[in-house]
Amino acid sequence: MQLKLTKRTVDGILAVECSGRIVLGEESSLLRDEMKKVVQEGAKRIVLNLGEVNYIDSSGLGTLVALQTSAQNAGATIKLANLTKRVGDLLQVTKLLTVFEVHNSEYEALEAFRRAA
C-alpha cells in the first residue's frame, strides 16, 4: 500500500497522519519531500501520527532519523505518535526510541506541545 499523508493544523501544530508503508523508493521520498517543504514553510511543531503505518524498512527508519535531524537544524521539533506494535518494536530494537519523543496518541503529542508553549 502506497504511503498517504494527511496534514492538518491544530492550534498552530502541524499534525501529519501517515498511512501505508514507509519503505525505500517513492514512499520515503514522499515523506522526506513533504516534511522538508513544511519545515521550509515555517512549521516548527510537527506530530507524525504513525498509527496507520503497517510496515517500515531500514530506509524508512533512515528517513525518520534524517527528518528529525533536519527539523532540529531548522529549529523545528518532531514528535511521533500512535506507533503500531510493529513500528514501536522496531524502534526499540534499533534503539531509535532514544532519538524520538514518542507519545501513545496524537492527542498526547499535541498536549505535550501545548504544555511546552
Please, which pLDDT band fits residue 117 given cuts at 50, 70 and 90? confident
Query: In this prediction, what percent of the chain has a pLDDT beyond 70?
Result: 99
32: nearest Cα among 109, 40, 103: 40
Query: How many separate domains does the chain show?
Result: 1
Segments forming the whole domain that contains residue 25: 4-116
Q: What is the mean pLDDT of residues 65-77?
A: 96
What pLDDT digit, counting tens, does each position of 28-42 carry? 999 999 999 999 999
Domain harbouring 50, CATH code: 3.30.750.24
Tell me the CA distances in angstroms from 25 to 1, 2, 51, 58, 85, one per residue in order. Answer: 13, 10, 21, 12, 24
What pLDDT digit, counting tens, does each position of 80-106 carry? 999 999 999 999 999 999 999 999 999
What is the C-alpha to C-alpha distance for residues 34 and 26, in angstroms, rounded to an integer? 12
Got the DSSP string for 26-71? HHHHHHHHHHHHHHHTT--EEEEEEEEEEEE-HHHHHHHHHHHHHH
